Each structure stands twice: as C-alpha cells, then as structure tokens.
Amino acid sequence: MTEPKLSTPLMLSTSSRSLPDFKKSVKLKYVKLGYHYLITHGMYLFLSPLVVLIAAQVSTLSVKDLWEIWVHLQYNLILVVLCSALLVFLSTVYFLTRPRPVYLVNFSCYKPEESQKCTKRGFLEQSRIACTFTEESLDFQRKIVERSGLGESTYLPKAILNNPPNPSMYMARKEAENVMFGALDELFTKTKVKPKDIGILIVNCSLFNPTPSLSAMVINHYKLRGNIISYNLGGMGCSAGLISIDLAKDLLQVHPNSYAVVISMENITLNWYFGNDRSKLVSNCLFRMGGAAILLSNKSSDRRRSKYRLVHTVRTHKGADDKCFACVTQEEDANGKVGVTLSKDLMGVAGEALKTNITTLGPLVLPMSEQLLFFGTLVGKKLLKMKIKPYIPDFKLAFEHFCIHAGGRAVLDEIEKNLHLSDWHMEPSRMTLYRFGNTSSSSLWYELAYSEAKGRVKKGDRTWQIAFGSGFKCNSAVWKALKTINPEKEKSPWIDEIHEFPVDLPKLSAI
C-alpha cells in the first residue's frame, strides 16, 4: 500500500477529499444486476396484468352466464378436479416461494455515562498525556479534529480517558460488555421480549474479536437457549451492521416464527493508536464509543407492533481490486505499533463502491419516470455513442429519509453533492457525527433514532441506510415505516436533548 508522506496532511487536500464524479461513467453490468434483482424478486409485477385481465373478463359475465358455467361443471367432474388440483398446486408454490416479511420490531442505541464525555480539547490533552506522540503528530491531530465535524460531547472508553491511558484486554472486555448489555437491556425493556425467546444472534465488531467471542459473552450473560443460531462477524468494517441485517434476513427466511437480534458496535480500547504515522492517526480523531441492538422478527403477529419492514438489501464488494482491498488496513508501523491505515485513495474507492451500489439499487426503488430517464441516457451513451453524461436519478423521489454512515465530514459533503441531497436530508448524519462521532457500524441507528426523535418518520415513509467499510464494501438497506413514530413515546439517546438540534457546523472549529 502507498503510505502518505508525513509532510502531507492526510484527507486535507482537495484531491483526497473528493468522491469521483458519478456522471463520468456508469457500468452497464451493474444496471443489469439491478434489473435482475427486480425480475427475480418481483414476479408479481408481471403476473399483475394477467390477474387484472382475468378479473375484467369475469366482471363482464352475467348471472345467466355464471349459471350456465355451473351447470356445465356439474357434468364435468374430471375438469373440476383438474382445475381444483391446479389451483391448489399454484397456491402452494406461491406461498412456499414467497419470501417471509422481515419486521424491525424496535432498536436501541447505547448512550455512555456522562463521565465518559470527551471534548475536543480533552481529546488532545489525552493524546498529550500519553507521551507517545511528537509535537508534529499532536498538531496534525488538532487540525483533523478542528475540521472533523465532531462536537464537544462525544464519548471515549474509560481506559483511554485514564491518566495515563491504560488499555488492556480486561478493559476492552468491560467496554464491550457495557455497550452490548446496555443496548440489549434497553431493547428487551422496549419490546417486552424475553432473552430465551431469541433464536438468532448476530454480533459484529470489526477490530475486537476475543475468545470466547462477543456473541458467546451475550449468550452467557443472558443465559440464552442452547440451540440458538449465533454468529460473530469480525474484520468487516463500518458496513458490517448492514451485512448483519442481510444475514439475519436470510436466516429468518428458513427459520419460521423466530426473533433475531443484531448487535452492531466497535471497540476503542485496544485499537487506540499510540504511534506517529499520520495515516493511522486519523482514526483516533474520528472514532468514538457507541453501539446498537436491533430486534427483527418474521412473525406475522409482530407486524402490528413493529416499526419498519425490511424492503431491500443490496451489497457491493470491491475486494477483487487491489487498490480497493488495501485502502483500509490494520497493520504495524515502523516501530511495531498497530493501527488502522487509511489510504489517500479511500475517498475515490468509496465513491466507486457507492456508484456501483446505487446503480444496482436504482431499478429496485426508483419510480419508472426516473428509470426511463436514466436508462435512456445510458443507452444513448453506451450504444449510440452520444456525447452525453449519464443521468443521475433523483433518489429523493424514492426515499423520504437518508441514513448515511457518519464516517467523516468529507464523505458526507461529497455524498450530499453527488446525490443532490438537501441539508434536511443530511441532518441526521451530520448531527450524529457531531454528537456521537464515528461509532462505526452503529452510526446508522443513531441517525434513524434522530429522525424518530424529531418526529419526522410517518407511516409509509421509506428510509435508505448506506454504509461503507474496509474490504472495500458499500451496503444498502431500505426500510418502510409501518406506523407513524410518536417521539413522546420513544426512548433514545436523543430524546432529552433533541430540542438543541440541529446546530450550525462551521467548516473549521478552532481549538
């Protein structure tokens, strides 16, 4: 991997902060993939006209015609039996092949203790106390924090806030327990579901993978049943939360009448970098403590009390490309200190992954008017060799709410520009970054909780969650609200302070 020069501040130059222009090129194979998903999962769209024609024909029959058909069938027992058998067979095939609906019953986001709040000045002071950073590295961190979009009330684990910091396996486990059990306790309280009722458990944490695993820690703490289906996903970056949702969706298709719990988190304690490689220092400045727990169900009886229904999941993996594979890497520096290297190619790689993902997702969610405009310009450019730019669809016509992974201010700025989103659409992501920092895969749930606390989520609204992660991956999930969310009845990290948001975010907040 190409390491950035120490004299060049990572992610501060214009070239390294910009996503590629989505209008320059759109690969036709990803459009085909999107339409393949549409055809595979949307056969009812093609059967609907046939049903309408049959219904129209039946409506033209008079009472006399129906009587004649009945009399005719009375003397044709074989025809009646064959038609009945065909009807039963087709109905059976339909119900067996129909995907089970997946409902999001509720979710919870962990809010650490007040004693774990860390101001930007406090963060820099903790870095100075560690006595491992040079003055140049401390100044670099100050510049990153000033432009990061983070506020004065993010959270760090106790091991990092100690004087001096004392990270250890014991403290890392305590951080994981606080986050997971705190989020789960609140989730069980909200949903009134007993731990013994959980049939599927998926925990994702990219950088902390102890033995016994995090999922085993949850099973032991809550004494979950012995036949539970559990998974522990590691090393999959900030997009692992949506990978967990996709995995839970697939498992719920084959395990009827089941509850699935997904826990998304990151662990800071053992992954704080104490060296002076600038490409590894950026993660110290952006990542903060947090986590979320989500309860999913495929029980038809849960539809009435659930908040959302999962509509689509689309996963994009660019790991076959060496540049994409190496843009986020955990490795040692020249002095043997482990950290996560963020390549200067990261923004470009993220842009290409996002472009692939939305090109695949587009045919599944966009109205026909937008699809025709997009497909028409694509045909003109690819087949007719016309010198026109590909049409970037208006995704605001497909979604009411956007939850974009709060990975950093630069990423949010570029996505807002490329997808032509408004400040209102970007507000949940920007306020989450400001209030909680980059909480890795759980940031999407803090953003959705923000929209709920603002009273924005109405019945029928569609929400698009977008996440990026090492590998390199871009994943999407689409949810449809099953009811209007009343913020007065909600419990979330935002409720007590939502009246203070949104806040103005200057481009530079000097320390």
**Measuring CA to CA, which residue among 65, 44, 306, 78 is closest to residue 190?**
306
Angle at 42 between CA 38 and CA 48, to 5 degrees: 135
| CB-based contact 110:264 (threshold 8 Å) | no
DSSP lists the bridge partners of residue 81 as: none
| CB-based contact 124:138 (threshold 8 Å) | yes
Angle at 166 between CA 164 and CA 168, to 5 degrees: 175
d(CA 429, CA 36): 31
**Secondary structure class of 442 (helix, strand, coil):** helix
d(CA 182, CA 171): 16
| CB-based contact 167:269 (threshold 8 Å) | yes
Tell me, what DSSP letter sits at residue 418? H
The set of catalytic residues is 238, 317, 401, 405, 438
| CB-based contact 334:343 (threshold 8 Å) | no
Measured from the Cβ of residue 194, the count of other Cβ atoms closer than 10 Å reads: 10
d(CA 510, CA 145): 9
Q: Residue 505 has which token pair?
A: 């975010």
Q: Which amino acid is at 8?
A: T
Q: Which amino acid is at 331?
A: E
